[in-house]
Amino acid sequence: MSVVEAESDVGDVPMVDVRHPFRRSAARAVGFDPLRMRREYRRLFHGIYISREVEPTPLVLARAVLVSVRGVAWASHATAARVLRLPIPVLPGEHVTVVDRNHRRGRPDITCHSAPSGMVTKVEDVTVSAPSQVFLELATMISLVDLVVVGDHMVRKGMISLGSLVAACQAASGPGADLAREAVSYVREGVDSPMETRTRMLIVLAGLPEPEVNALVGNETELRRYDLSYRASRTIVEYDGRAHIEREEQWESDLVRREKIDDDEWRIIVVIAKGIYKTPGDTLERIHRVLRKRGEPGVLAVLSDRWKAHFPGYE
């Protein structure tokens, strides 16, 4: 959906629905008592309120940022990402984009951007940046690895096809376009989790061969799916989150699965959160050692240092 097709949802109305974000000026115009308003209503942003009974969800905050401006506009950047439930790092503040530069408003809690056009979509009644648009917007705000996490998630959830995302990044210009093109070159189909993406990015940024994502391995009677794998050396790299060991049933299933992996003479390397965030260097050393020992083609004798800029836990 093009932004030129979207209608603005902003502007004062004769009546005030307190279960939706409203301007203080609009409330005063219909007789609200300012003192009572401060006591009984939740302040979302400067001059914008809502009933205290309404939780300030990402969708509610997106409605509020649209109330803060006039004209054709859409919730964008981190605000749109949160509405779309994308796995982004914690980012302060909200964002809105207006078409007419004259409608930009400076606020300490809302960043107002302007663009003559953009791709948007609707979530309930709220106009937000479409997946391809928000990917490009986030390229001005987050790191390469975080952006690949977003791209993998979008494609996995069917929000956009990989081909469409690549095309949007190739056609882009301006701030963030170069990073978006670099990030989309690492986006893959079928990635199950953000931590799987981070594990894969640690591997490839260190100069190791890229593992296959969610490969199906086995025979006619049984197929097993591996997060990241190298068929030539029969090596598996899998991220194991805390949730996997908190359920006895899952734990027992994993034990049986790993015994079968051993029977097939595959080697599994298990990575946990600490190995990505705190000791990525140790994780790489383990993977590198096993791949060289098992004869994986294309494994260099010395790892690249490029990963260090993206996984600072190595210090």
Count of CB atoms within 10 A of residue 98's CB?
Answer: 23
> Residue type for 137, please?
E
Question: Is residue 81, in this structure, part of any structural domain at all?
Answer: no
Question: Is residue 66, in this structure, part of any structural domain at all?
Answer: no
DSSP 3-state of 32: coil
What is the tens place of the pLDDT at every residue in 132-171? 999 999 999 999 999 999 999 999 999 999 999 999 999 9
The confidence score (pLDDT) of residue 263 equals 54
What is the C-alpha to C-alpha distance for residues 72 and 104, in angstroms, rounded to an integer?
11
What is the C-alpha to C-alpha distance for residues 212 and 215, in angstroms, rounded to an integer?
6
Question: Is residue 33, in this structure, part of any structural domain at all?
Answer: no
CB-CB contact of 89 with 27 (8 Å) = no
- Residue 208 is classified by DSSP as P
Cα–Cα–Cα angle for 306, 226, 194, nearest 5°? 50
The confidence score (pLDDT) of residue 131 equals 97
Q: How far apart are the first and last CA of the chain?
A: 45
- Residue 119 is classified by DSSP as B
Q: Which of 118, 126, 134, 159 is nearest to 58 (CA)?
A: 126
The interaxial angle of helices 144-156 and 194-205, nearest 10 deg, is 130
Question: Is residue 259, in this structure, part of any structural domain at all?
Answer: yes
Q: Whole domain around residue 265: which residue ranges? A: 194-314
What is the C-alpha to C-alpha distance for residues 78 and 93, in angstroms, rounded to an integer?
8
What is the C-alpha to C-alpha distance for residues 229 and 236, in angstroms, rounded to an integer?
4
Structure tokens at 106: 């400076």
Query: Which residues touch 40 (CB under 8 Å, ≥6 apart)?
Result: 51, 52
Q: 184 — phi, psi (to 5°)?
A: -65, -20
Sites in the chain below the pLDDT cut of 50: 2-14, 244-245, 251
Question: Is residue 37, in this structure, part of any structural domain at all?
Answer: no
- Residue identified by tokens 């640690």 is 202
Question: Is residue 245, in this structure, part of any structural domain at all?
Answer: yes
Buried/exposed code over 64-93 (b: 16+ C-beta within 10 A; e: otherwise): bbbbbbbebbbbbbbbbbbbbebebeebee
How many C-alpha atoms does 259 have within 13 Å on its Cβ side? Answer: 6
Work out whether strand 267-271 and strand 235-239 pair parallel, antiparallel, or are unpaired.
parallel
What is the C-alpha to C-alpha distance for residues 222 and 244, in angstroms, rounded to an integer?
22
Question: Is residue 20, in this structure, part of any structural domain at all?
Answer: no
Question: Is residue 303, in this structure, part of any structural domain at all?
Answer: yes
Q: How many domains does the chain divide into?
A: 1
- Residue 309 is classified by DSSP as G
DSSP 3-state of 74: strand
The confidence score (pLDDT) of residue 78 equals 98
Cα distances (Å, whole numbers) of residue 67 to 20, 24, 89, 256, 311:
10, 11, 26, 56, 39
The confidence score (pLDDT) of residue 33 equals 75
CB-CB contact of 268 with 236 (8 Å) = yes
CB-CB contact of 113 with 80 (8 Å) = no
